[in-house]
Amino acid sequence: MKTTRMFTPIVAALGLLAGSASATTLIYNDFSSVSGLKLNGNAAQAGNVLRVTPANYNQSGSAFSQTAISLASNVSFSSAFSFRITNSGGSSDGDGLGADGITFTVQTVSNTAGGIGGGIGYAGILNSVAIEYDTWDNGTSFNDPNGNHVGVDLAGDIASVQTAVVGTRMNDGNVWYSWVDYDGTTKNLEVRLSQSSSRPAAAILTGNVDLAAALGTTNAYVGFTSGTGAAFGDHDILSWEFRDTFAPIGNAPEPASLALLGLGLFGLAAARKRQAG
């Protein structure tokens, strides 16, 4: 088993590692280390998070695995990650300030960032498939149903081939969790989204994509892109797990900072209980 482990010490001590005997697995329970990633454009490490774009105008950033990952076994993958968008500002659309969102992208062209603004750091990255978490309404010419939706993008084109509206603003400053699973046997792609780290039973978006045809190869870089334009926000990835086979992940990796907070609250509650006794 080839596994890349990117742990903070306390998470390593808790032994939170999942993988299969034949899978290459990337695990980042936070981004206090960005070893194994190539950061491009305006992307940067910011404390324990991967800040794909900062809260500033006209930014474009991306972060991809530093080396290509082979999907040759069955051209499938499963991924789960957490993200948070804060400090939204600049212009506003129908649902408030901030833009433009993030993408989770599988691509083979290069480790570079795409277009700014509505390009979400993805526009122009050919031979690729992306899931966009779009927080700005670019109108019907981009197939945007509103300013808060997820979509499937192909070949560096941000006019999504399929979309689903998200009821709660994704740039609300809270932590969001997403699961993306692709089964190369059925060519079925599923996207789940929640404000809880527990995997939802139902997908928010389901579609059919020929990943092998879209990529043109079975070697791919995996990671994230983001862009800002006349509106902006800090677009942070907090944790991430990726498997190079169809092996849906249960609970999404909890950001280490939140896990530590949970342990601290548990300890505080236990102490209070002992004092009360």
DSSP state of 117: G
Distance of alpha carbon 162 from alpha carbon 116, whole angstroms: 22
Residue from 167, 171, 158, 175 nearest 91 by CA? 171
pLDDT along the chain (277 residues), means of 10: 40 31 78 96 97 98 94 92 97 92 92 92 96 96 95 97 97 97 97 97 97 95 97 98 96 75 40 41
Domains of the chain, first to last: 2-276 (2.60.120.200)
pTM confidence score:
0.86
Is 57 within 8 Å of 43 (Cβ atoms)?
Answer: no
